[in-house]
Structures are given as structure tokens and as C-alpha cells.
Structure 1
């Protein structure tokens, strides 16, 4: 089965999403040391290699699956602690597939926790790296695009969100995704189609809501001016 093409519009999603938190520049060694404790030297070497090689992929996956950035560090530790305990069960070469499966479970729990807390979307204790070369208007546009993407992804069931983000943001092929999440390529194609449809529907809905909100703001701002003009006219 051929891989679905990445549309120009959807390819831009990877550009607006932004870079991982700056803390990840140093997290590999900390996570690796945390995960290898109490393991034999051979296991420790393999665990450390898995952490160093895959920590950025795991962090991105967790955030894309709905883990708030403020909670991503704790979720990252959970994933690698599970991996350390199960390292002997992971066949060489299948580490990323195993890690993603753990990410799905950890993200599902994290999203339920967020729902219970009724946390406000967008409160971010771990800000993204600031692009000092970008103009203020570019940074604002990028922030708005990220907020729109986050809003849309939040509406997707996690199985659709997983396929959509792996294909559109990680730029994996459908064959790679099928291997990664352990489902047939036909299932991947079906989920991707449904996710794209939902993405398009939600984007239209959210953009319409944003236009309506902007229009209401403009109307409220214009109202005092109109009243002043009316008062002046009555006084003449």
C-alpha cells in the first residue's frame, strides 16, 4: 500500500509546532543515570543508550499525544522507568516501537488527570525555545498556529491523534507507523483519513469562532465611539 501524500498545508504543521523545551538539552544524561540505577553493567549500557537515542522522540510524542508541557518531564521519567524494568523483553531494533506504546499509555493517564484537574490549556511551565532571529510578528503568528494545532489535536481520540501526529509531524510513512503501533497498514490509512477529516472540520470551526470573537471585540471597542458621536449630535 502506498503512503498517503503530505499536503503542503499539513506539512507546515511540523514548522509551527516548535522545538522541545530547552531543558532537554541536558535531560539525556540525567534520565540515563536515573534509569540505569540498580541494573547490571550490560543492561545499564543498553538502557542508557535507549534514553540518549530516543529521549527527544519520547518527549515530542508525549506532548503531541496530549501531555501538558508542564507534566512532560514527569511523564518522560515514567516512560524510561518502565523501559528500564522491561529492557530484557525489548528486542534489539524495536526500542522505538516499545517506547511509543508506553507513551500512549502514559499519555492516556495524563490526559485523564488533566481532565480531572480541569487545567487551562496553554498554561505552560516549560516554555519553548525562543527563536531570537524571528520577528515579533512571526513569533506571534507561530504562537497562534501552535495554539490552533493544540486545540484541534485535543479534540481527536488518541488513536487518531497518534497516527496523525506520526504521519504529519514525525513525517513517518504509513508502513513505519503500522510497525510502530502494531496495527495493519489499512488501519493506519483509515485512521489517518478520519483524522484529516476531523482536523479540517475542527480547523474551520475554531477559525470561525476566532473570527466571531474578533468581530465582537471590534464591535465593543467601537460602541463607546458611537455613543460619543450620538451624544455630541444631540447637544448641537
Structure 2
């Protein structure tokens, strides 16, 4: 199996016409993790969205594996190889955790059984609320539902924007253990966080963003 490889060259990103950072270069291979650092407003979320193919960079290129970027400069959309968990939970409040995860995994081109979804929800302490509309869940419960994709996905590349937001200490430890396991298995993780994540077995590189 080919080792995952994420290569970023001369990347410049912004919001609309406003530039946030210029000429970013880094490379990550399977078994590596990196934390995106920088002051508020410097483009941390913008970088993750650009890596995910959800936003067009001002300049530069994102390469995944050996594939070149699309001709118009946009990154290749990594639907099957990517698990992106944004700062927002991306849950439909009227659907249950089970239903939301079924929809999210289908959108990621993955068919996951109801049994597998229920098992992961149980592991995350959500079995009791598995059939309750998400609009009736607490902020921490909603975040755990969103993060359950990390247990269901086999994607090698994870992009995580503030993954520990609203999590208690115990849930944060469970998340850290899952990240450790993913990296140990040859995956790549790029994340932002204001919360301290204690990754016991993972050496975390820093990607520093300097605002324009």
C-alpha cells in the first residue's frame, strides 16, 4: 500500500480578496501529525478548508499522493481519502445521531452499517441518546456525534478544526487516544486547537501561520 503523502507548496490563501497568509510550504507523510498555529484570524480554518478542497487558494498548490492539483489551481477533492471535521458539527438537528452519521458517511462515499454506527455511539457514551433528535443534545454530545466519524472512517487524511471544542476531560482523552491510534496506523492528521490535546504516542509538528 502506498504511504499517504500531503505536499503543500507556495500556498497563499485568504477570504475573498483579502490575503491571510503567503507562501506556505510543508510536507506530511503517513504516521505524522501537525498542529496549525497562529493568532486569531491568521487563516487556520481557511488552510484546513483549502486542504479539504472546499476553498480555492490565491496561489500555490496542494498535492495528495502523487496526484497533481486540478488545472484551475484547486486541490483535488479527496472525498474517499479525507475525513474533515470542521468547527461546526454539521448535524441536522431534526435527525438522530444514528441518522446524521449515516448521511455523513454516505456523503463521504462510505456505506456503514447501522450496527457499526450504534457500536461507535456506545463507545462514545451516546448509546442512550442514539435515537434522540440532535437538537435535544448538549453541546458536548453533539460534538461527540460529529467526531464519531473518526471511528467510522477509514480515510488516511484527517483535517480537524477545534476537535476538542465542548468536550469534557474524559471525552478529550478518548479523542486523543483515537488520534494516536490513527497516526500509529500510518494516517496523517492536521488539526487546530485552543484546547490542549495530550497525544501520548504522537510527535506533533507545528505549522506556523504568519498573517500578511
Does TM, normalized by the shorter one, top 0.5?
Answer: no
Q: Report 1 or 2 for greater relative contact order, CA contacts < 8 Å, sequence distance ≥ 6.
A: 2
The two structures have a TM-score, normalised by structure 1, of 0.22
Higher strand share: 2
TM-score by length of 2: 0.24
**Which protein is richer in helix relative to its size?**
1
